Amino acid sequence: MAQGTIRYWAAAKAAAGVAEEPYDAETLAVALEAVRARHSGELVRVLQRSSFLVDGDPVGTRGHETVRLAEGGTVEVLPPFAGG
């Protein structure tokens, strides 16, 4: 298992109640499953609408089960941003 950090931004941070927390997972899918188990309610809904960066690279439409996580890596959870 790889260990690293999940960082939450904007609405994800508010829903999680923390700015970041550790992960212990081989793939993004496993890491997000653990997040959903720890944080029910609003964060689960925010994750459905969020984009993700893994070590600075956009995940895009790739299946989360195919996105490998690195030891010491960072997952950024980016909810939709309003703006103009």
The Cα 68–Cα 2 span in angstroms is: 9
pLDDT single digits (tens) 8-25: 999 999 999 999 999 999
Whether the per-residue pLDDT at 82 is higher than 90: the answer is: no
Q: What share of the chain is helix, strand, coil (3-state, %, to 5)?
A: 35, 30, 35
pLDDT single digits (tens) 29-51: 999 999 999 998 999 999 999 99
